[in-house]
Amino acid sequence: MAERALRLFFALPLPPELREALGLWRPALPPARWARPEGLHVTLAFLGERPAEALPVLEGIAAAVADRHRTFTLRTARLGGFPERGRARVLWLGLEPSPALEALAGDLRRALAAAGEVFDARPFRAHLTLARLRQPLSLAGLADPAPAAFAADRLVLFESGPHGSYTPLGAWRLRPV
C-alpha cells in the first residue's frame, strides 16, 4: 500500500491575539472563503507533496536554519491582492519590509535547494492570506485592518489538511535577542 503524501510548507505562525483580531476583522465583501484565524501564518517556503520519509531531512534543515537567526519583530501593513493588477481573487495583508525576514526566508530557501529539496521558487512575498474571493474584486476603498506588531520567534513545518486546516509537524525556536 502506498504511503500517503504530506502537503508541506515552512512558515512563521502568528501569536493568538493577532490571529483573533484578524479573525474578527471582516470588511464588507462579496462572497469569500475566509482563512481560519488559527491557521494564519507567513509562508516562507511551500514544499508541496512529500512522503513522510522526507521529514527527517526537512527537520534537520529547519533546525540548522533556525539556529542561525535571531527572533525579530514584524509589523502588518496594507491590504493587497493576487493578481496584483486589476481585480483580485485573493485578499492578503502585507508586512512592512524586514531585512531579518528576508534573510530568514532566503537562508531557508538556499538550504532547501542545497539539499535538493524542491519548493515553489516564485519570489518570496511576505503576506498573510486572509480570504479567497469567489468573484474577482477591485480592492480600491477597502480599509486596512489596524496595524499590529508581533514577534517572529519560531520556524514551523506545517502539513496542509482539508478545509484550510494546518497541523504543525515541528517547530524550531529562533535564537533569543
Which residues belong to the active site?
41, 127
For residue 89, give every residue at least 6 positions away whose Cβ sits within 8 Å of its Cβ, in sequence order, or none. Answer: 81, 82, 83, 132, 133, 136
Is 97 within 8 Å of 132 (Cβ atoms)? no
Neighbours of 175 (CB within 10 A): 11
Q: Considering only CA atoms, which of 129, 161, 144, 137 is closest in space to residue 34?
A: 129
